Structure formats: structure tokens, C-alpha cells
Amino acid sequence: MKKAASPHQYSFFQNVEDYFDKAAAHTKYPKGLLDQIKACNSVYQMRFPIKIEDRVEVIEAYRVQHSQHKVPCKGGIRYSDMVNQDEVMALAALMTYKCSIVDVPFGGAKGGIKINPKNYTPDQLERITRRYTAELIRKNFIGPGIDVPAPDYGTGEREMSWILDTYVAFNPGQVEAYGCVTGKPVSAGGVRGRKEATGRGVFFGIRELCSIAEDMKPLGLTTGIAGKRVAVQGLGNVGYHSALFFWEAGATLVGLSEIDCALYNSKGLDLSDVMKWKEEHKTLLTYPKAKVFKNAAALLEFDCDILVPAALENVITGDNAPNVKAKIIAEGANGPVTPDAEEILLKKGAVIIPDMYLNAGGVTVSYFEWLKNLSHVRFGRMDKRFTENTNIKMVESIENMTGKSMSAGERRAITHGADEVDLVNSGLEETMISSFHDIRNALLAHKKVKDHRTAAFIVSINKVASSYMNLGIWP
Ligand code: NAD
């Protein structure tokens, strides 16, 4: 593993390449093909001026398209003062592998603007986002059939609306224009369930793992989520929603952390109370119902069964991995575990469920949003009422035959036709469960492979390689 001259001690892109190479050794593809799969096809580094009060700031930003073996390319846009080319390349590469694992027919991409959004007003952020979008349009780096951004660290629905509005203004009359970006508010062409999708996917993936007795036994754990001790790093989009779904399923949230501190309570934290405190006090440092650690990274070493790093990359390293006590490391964030840390954790017998599968719920539901934008119709609009009417007739026939009537609650549960959010969540659940088993089956099939990440990479390499081979370039 090589070190990088970046704010991080580790080269994130090199880490991804190392993981890729480890898996590629278990495949038989020609070197040229593997090199093409690994390469970042297009790297667009830009600088543009923005007027901030009475001065001009030169903004550094990126968009990387890792692969066009399927188009459009797809990947989030990150706003963070730690953004650098190495990081964006790594995240774009992970998107290629992620999309293939969950059968989303896109190539991988990622974008980043090197700013701390907390240092700018909403007006200034809007100007930066719109100018960034204009730069993407100028170089043909955005479009429903070219490259479709989405939210990532430091961005959300608001930024996606600005991107959409800028794109539409530059492309009048383009009927599929709303498919140029996903993660939009529902009122601006978004899909219900997208905001929670990544966290929900993290939960579905870990729930599936925990449902398999033979996988739980070596970890000394029982099956099921209820009662499992969970610690979550980062209470943003991915962290908060992951914590929420574990909490709702009866897990004990023993640890939660934000950028300035970590909270621990062996009896469990009340997530809504913690979030209310965070909202009202803008910090958790003063939260009274937990032991507070001023060193936020302490959370990674808490005594728990499931650890969900959901903030940033390279947080579990060779230095702290020996102290990690969790038996399951659930990668909500991209790249939270470095290769040297992974080696240590695997030796300790931990299971790491990798980012490229586990946080793919976001891109899966983004795919549904894109489909909705291209079809111009809300999911469920055509068949919800038909299903409901058919079910009502069926229930009435059963009631007539048996002479018994159902309660209003029972009747509603049985007759209910699927809304958009029901279909989105069901598509996500199916995707996360079936992809988990693809990875698990690869793990079982390759006797020399001992970890889920390598198995996930093998699944992904097989799929991307076959796409390239279908193009007829490789024999
Ligand atoms: P976000 O900006 O919504 O939230 C990140 C949170 O982490 C913030 O609240 C921030 O204060 C906190 N944080 C930062 N450093 C921390 C630290 N050292 N300790 C504890 N908390 C810290 O970002 P997000 O969208 O939730 O993304 C988080 C991670 O998940 C990133 O790695 C991102 O690439 C990945 N991811 C996001 C999505 C998505 O749909 N948003 C999808 C897939 C993967």
C-alpha cells in the first residue's frame, strides 16, 4: 500500500486499486482488459472564480468519469475542504464497481468541490453550484445520457435542484432533461424514498447477513437485528438513516458520533432525543444522557457488535484497527477501512461488509429516479388502483364465502395497492438481498477468498469484463 501526498495519510485511489488487484488475481481475464477496467477514463479538473462579498475566490473542483462501459456515468458530488483528485478518482472507481454489483446499468463517476459548505451562505453555495454545473455543461460532462450526478458528503436535495435548474436553463426543450441529476426533491422530479435509500440499504444488507445462522456462529452472535449493539459514526444522510433503521428494528444504539465528539451509552441511546439535541444545540458535546468523548474517533473502538462508519474514508487504519471491537464492520461510508486495517480486522475474525455493495442503496434508488424522469410517470400511477380494486373484490368474496368480516386494519393491509415509495423500497430490498447473496456465493465458490470485499470485487470484475467483451474489443 502506497502513501499519498494528500491531506490523507493514505492514497484512497491506490487502496481501491490494491483491493481490485487482490480480487483480479482470482480471475483469468487478460491484463489489458483488467487495466482498462481499473483506469479512470476521464478526469476533469477545473478552477473558476466566484465573487464572495468584496473579494474573488478561485474554486477548485473535479468531475471524474471512471468508466463508460455503460452510460450514463453516475456518481455523487462532494463538498468538503478535503476534496482532492486522488479522492474523487477513488470514489468514481468505486461507483463503477458498485453499479455493477447491484445491476444498475451505469458507469462510475464522481465529483467534488473543495469547499467547506459551512463557510458559505446559501446564496454563495448556490452561485458555486450553478457555476460548477455550467462548467460541466461546457465540457459535456453532464446530461441524462452522459453523466448524472447525485448527492454525497456535504450536498443534498437543495444542491441537486440548483444543478437541475441550471442544466434545464442551458438545454431548453430537452424532454429528458430532468434525468440529468438524481437525489432531487420530490417536487422537482425526485423519487420518494431516495433520501433514506443509502441508510435503508445499509440496514437491509446487514439484516441479511445477520439472518444467516452459519455466518453468525463464527462471530459468536445470534441471528437477527433485535438486541444487537450498534455504533454509528457520522449523523448525516447515511449515518442518521442507518441508525434509524437499526433502531426501529430493535437494535441498541450504544454509540453515535459527530465531527466534534462521540456518545456512548451501554443501555442504548434514544436517536430522536440525540437528533433533537443536535438540532437545538448545534453540538452533542453537552448531551447529558451519555458518556461524551471529545475525541470523536473513540467511537470506532467502542464495545459493540456492529460498527457503521458513515462519515469519510480512511478512518479505520493500521493504527486503530487493533482496538476495534466490533464483529461486523458495515461500510456506510466509502473507503472507511484502509487495506492494512482490513488485514488486521480479518485476522481478528471480523466480517467487513464493503462499501461498494453496502452503500449502493443510494445509486439503486437514483436509478429508479432516473427511470421515472425518462418515463415521465410516477411509479404506481398505472396499477395502484387496479390492484386495490382487485384485492377488495377478493376480500369481499372470501368474506361472503366464510360469513366473517375483516377488521378495517386487516382489510387495508391486504387490499392496499403499491404507492411509489412501496415500490421503491421493495426494489431496493430485493436488490440488496440478491446482491448480498451474489457476493456470498462468490465467497463460497472461491475457497481461497476469505473476505466479502474480495468476493464483491470478483462479482463486479466479472460483470464489467463481460460488458467490455460484449463490445468485441477483447476475445
Ligand atoms: P453528509 O454530509 O450527509 O453527512 C456526513 C456527516 O458526517 C456530517 O454530519 C459530518 O459532520 C459527519 N462527520 C464528518 N467527519 C466526522 C468524524 N470524523 N466523525 C464523526 N462524524 C463526522 O454525508 P453523507 O451523504 O451521509 O455521506 C457519508 C459517507 O457516505 C461518504 O463517504 C459518502 O461518500 C458515502 N455515501 C453517501 C451516499 C448518499 O446517498 N448520500 C451514498 C453512498 C455513499
110 has catalytic annotation: yes
Task: Specify the CATH class of 43-188 in words.
Answer: alpha beta
Neighbours of 288 (CB within 10 A): 7
Is the pLDDT at 344 greater than 60? The verdict is yes
Q: Which atom of ligand 1 is nearest to the CA of 332?
A: 30
Helices 452-470 and 12-24 meet at what angle, rounded to 10?
80
Rounded to the nearest angstrom, the gap between the alpha carbon of residue 299 and the centroid of all alpha carbons in its chain is 21
User: Measured from the CB, is residue 233 less than 6 Å from ligand 1?
Assistant: yes
Tell me the CA–centroid distance for residue 154 and ligand 1, in Å. 7
User: Measured from the CB, is residue 259 less than 6 Å from ligand 1?
Assistant: yes
The values of phi and psi at residue 415, to 5°, are: -90, -20
CA distance 261 to 334: 21
DSSP β-bridge partners for residue 42: 65
User: Measured from the CB, is residue 102 less than 6 Å from ligand 1?
Assistant: no
User: Measured from the CB, is residue 332 less than 6 Å from ligand 1?
Assistant: yes
**CA-proximal residue: ligand 1, atom 27 (nearest):** 153
Burial of residue 51 (number of CB atoms within 10 Å: 0-12, 13-18, 19+): exposed
Tell me the CA–centroid distance for residue 103 and ligand 1, in Å. 24
Ligand 1 pocket test target in 152, 263, 285, 316 with most atoms within 8 Å of CB: 152
**CA-proximal residue: ligand 1, atom 35 (nearest):** 333
205 in Cβ contact with 341 (< 8 Å): no
Domain ranges in the chain are: 43-188
Ligand 1 pocket test target in 99, 238, 314 with most atoms within 8 Å of CB: 238
For the stretch 162-215, pLDDT in tens is 999 999 999 999 999 999 999 999 999 999 999 999 999 999 999 999 999 999
For the stretch 106-149, pLDDT in tens is 999 999 999 999 999 999 999 999 999 999 999 999 999 999 99
Ligand 1 pocket test target in 98, 191, 237, 314 with most atoms within 8 Å of CB: 237
CA distance 245 to 260: 24
Assign residue 63 a region (left: φ > 0; alpha: ψ between -120 and 50; beta: otherwise). beta
- The catalytic residue among 70, 74, 110, 184 is 110
User: Measured from the CB, is residue 153 less than 6 Å from ligand 1?
Assistant: yes
For the stretch 249-293, pLDDT in tens is 999 999 999 999 999 999 999 999 999 999 999 999 999 999 999
User: Measured from the CB, is residue 357 less than 6 Å from ligand 1?
Assistant: no
Nearest to 16 by CA among 395, 463, 456, 462: 456
Is the pLDDT at 5 greater than 80? The verdict is no
Q: Average pLDDT for residues 430-450, to the nearest whole number?
A: 97
Nearest to 88 by CA among 1, 153, 183: 153
For the stretch 223-249, pLDDT in tens is 999 999 999 999 999 999 999 999 999
User: Measured from the CB, is residue 235 less than 6 Å from ligand 1?
Assistant: yes
**CA-proximal residue: ligand 1, atom 16 (nearest):** 259
User: Measured from the CB, is residue 298 less than 6 Å from ligand 1?
Assistant: no
